[in-house]
Amino acid sequence: MELVEYTVKGAVALITLTRPPVNAINSQLIAEIDEAVGLAEDEAIRAVVITGAPHFAAGADIVGFQKTFDTGGSERQASGLGEAISRFANLEKPTIAAVHGFALGGGLELAMGADFRYLAQSAKVGQPEILLGIIPGAGGTQRLARLVGPQRCKELCLSGRHVEATEALSIGIADKVVPDDELLDVALEAAERFAAGPTQAYAAAKRAVSRGFDRPLEEGLSIEAEQFARVFASRDAQIGVAAFLAKEKPEFTGS
């Protein structure tokens, strides 16, 4: 891969976007993000961090949009990015987006595909597509609404404004704000803790939340019960219960 670095330390995968100067998203970067996410599907990987520096990703490469207009073609980049983000969101292990600089447009959409978003203090996020006369096309209107509520989502999407890290934390876009020079270390340390945990239970919890959200309560409870039964049969459940009874720290295997 030319625009994405994929590295592994222990059971943690680090996906780093490396398209200077601002990680503008084009078709090649989308393909390589998808390739890296595919590598992270390996069962040996138990947590994932995605990042980019000095900017996480400052949105789509607008030159590509103009070429589409010039050739009379249809815009497929957003759908490709949306598919890659959905694949990332569906990873059955904890994921963290470590956001430096700008995460705008498709960059914020990518960050919202993670379970958690850790922002550097200087980071700014937003969905500025409206300023180009378009709207988010890779999940922005949907994932953002689920994080901050529909009214706040409309305000952000219709204004296109940039949101400072402290506000992002207060409205639910960010889960943590960290000094710039500590961000990646904090994200990787959290990922290492997740990687030492009960991977099957993490996956079950993610499935229960995503499949039960916005369903009638009874359907959601049924989904939860199904996932509970599934994870109760795991080896890690036996390890966790035995360690609790023995008053010991569990050593989960991820199985």
List the catalytic residues.
109, 129
Query: At 134, phi and psi to the nearest 5?
Result: -130, -175
Q: Which helix (H) or strand (E) holds 17?
A: strand 12-17
Query: At 149, phi and psi to the nearest 5?
Result: 95, 155
- Work out the number of other CB atoms within 10 angstroms of the CB of residue 167: 15
Is residue 250 classed as helix, strand or coil in its secondary structure? coil
In the chain, how many H helices and how many E strands?
A: 11, 9
Buried b (16+ CB within 10 A) or exposed e, 216-238: eeeebeebbeebeeebeebebbe
Is residue 119 classed as helix, strand or coil in its secondary structure? strand
Q: Who's near 81: CB < 8 A, 6+ residues apart?
A: 25, 30, 33, 106, 109, 110, 137, 138
CA distance 252 to 255: 8
